[in-house]
Amino acid sequence: MNKKQIILTGDRPTGPLHLGHYVGSLANRVALQKDHTQFIMIADAQALTDNYEHPQKIHDAVFQVALDYLAVGIDPNLSTIFIQSMIPALAELTLYYLNLVTVNRLKRNPTVKTEINQKGMEENLPAGFLMYPVSQAADITTFKATLVPVGEDQIPMIEQTNEIVRTFNRLYKTSILVEAQALVSKIARLQGIDGKAKMSKSLGNAVYLSDSMDVVQQKVKQMYTDPLHLKVNDPGNVEGNVVFSYLDAFDPDQKTVSELKEHYQRGGLGDMTIKKRLLEVLNAFLQPIQEKRKVLEQDKNYVMNILQKGTAQANEIAEKTLQEVKSAMHLHYF
Ligand code: TRP
């Protein structure tokens, strides 16, 4: 089949993936792999930029993320899955790209800014963390990707990548690097179960793809709905109501969901009822994923072999781009 575009995408391995990852980008990646050339990177080197004190955690999470990828339906025959730190060309390209970005520009990157804030790193900002968008530009451009399926928080990374691409091509009078476009899903961000912010591991408000049904039940029970919807007969609010936003994202029967919303708004529909439905919907969604995950978990060799093969393929491509970049920069001598 004729492949449409090249995709480079990935995740930081800090633990297993959650429903926010699924809605934000995993679902797109599964759908796109059939007619795109897709590379999926487990960004362990990037994960270390704010976890350098916990290398074992990152090491272990690589396997967890690989399990999640395969369990949700990333097909190793259609997508190339690889490990970032095993591709030396990425580190080398990062070094050259660093000349093309100012420290002030990096400090203005909205995603980096938010993270520095959330993690309280203002006073002791590791240089490696500040410059991770440059390494992300290396990830994307090495594979000449034109499409990057990611959550909406990653849009500033793609903008920064494209600036580097333009600067590089202009300065070194070449067109070897190509600009990329972010692909954000219809539901760009999924709220955490607390309803406060987006789902994220660091905020402790996530439902994981690998959560047992008991844990999912606990989390659904705790979910934020409408604090003013006290009695069943009270009219309820569906905006900002986590149960409804998850039903929007996961319920295959959207017609019933809109009927339930109307009923809830009119009054007469209790939180227990909608939570029960959500639990059924999530169970049906997660069950096949978890069955597959359990089988794969028992066969670590099989999973690691997929990563090893993917990494070898990725290395070949990365080495080729590195040589092109170095030629354009007159870094060829013998
Ligand atoms: N920044 C992404 C995250 O936080 C991970 C990542 C690293 C990535 N390099 C990438 C995503 C390149 C898309 C493209 O999870």
Question: Which of 37-51, 199-213, 311-325 is least confident?
Answer: 199-213
Cα 79 from Cα 94, distance rounded (Å): 24
Question: Does pLDDT of 1 surpass 80?
Answer: no
Q: Residue 155 Cα, ligand 1 centroid: separation in angstroms?
A: 10
Q: Does residue 50 line the site of ligand 1, with CB under 6 A? A: no
196 pLDDT band, cuts 50/70/90, is confident
For residue 208, being part of any structural domain is answered with no
Q: What is the CATH number of the domain that holds 77?
A: 3.40.50.620
Place of tokens 């990646």: 29
What 3-state class would DSSP assign to 117? Answer: helix
Report which ligand 1 atom has the smallest distance to the Cα of 8: 14
Q: Residue 285 Cα, ligand 1 centroid: separation in angstroms?
A: 25
Query: Do 132 and 256 belong together in one domain?
Result: no
Report the mean per-residue pLDDT for the chain.
Answer: 96
Measured by CA distance, the residue closest to atom 13 of ligand 1 is: 9
Report which ligand 1 atom has the smallest distance to the Cα of 135: 9
The C-alpha angle with vertex 230 and arms to 229 and 235, in degrees rounded to 5, equals 40
Q: Is the dihedral angle over the CA atoms 24, 25, 30, 32 positive or is it negative?
A: positive
Query: Do 34 and 140 belong together in one domain?
Result: yes
12: which 2 tokens?
A: 């930081």
Q: Does residue 83 line the site of ligand 1, with CB under 6 A? A: no
Percentage of the chain with pLDDT > 90? 91
Structural domains counted in the chain: 2
Query: Do 180 and 217 belong together in one domain?
Result: no
Query: Do 217 and 320 belong together in one domain?
Result: no
For residue 184, being part of any structural domain is answered with yes
Q: Tell me, rounded to whole angstroms, the distance of Cα 149 from its chain centroid.
A: 8
Question: Does pLDDT of 90 surpass 70?
Answer: yes
58: which 2 tokens?
A: 């990152």
What's 329's DSSP letter? T
Q: What is the pTM of this model?
A: 0.95
Q: What is the CATH number of the domain that holds 262?
A: 1.10.240.10
Q: Does residue 200 line the site of ligand 1, with CB under 6 A? A: no
Query: Do 176 and 219 belong together in one domain?
Result: no
For residue 205, being part of any structural domain is answered with no
Q: Is 265 exposed, middle or buried (0-12, 13-18, 19+ CB in 10 A)?
A: middle
Query: Do 257 and 317 belong together in one domain?
Result: no
Q: Residue 136 Cα, ligand 1 centroid: separation in angstroms?
A: 6
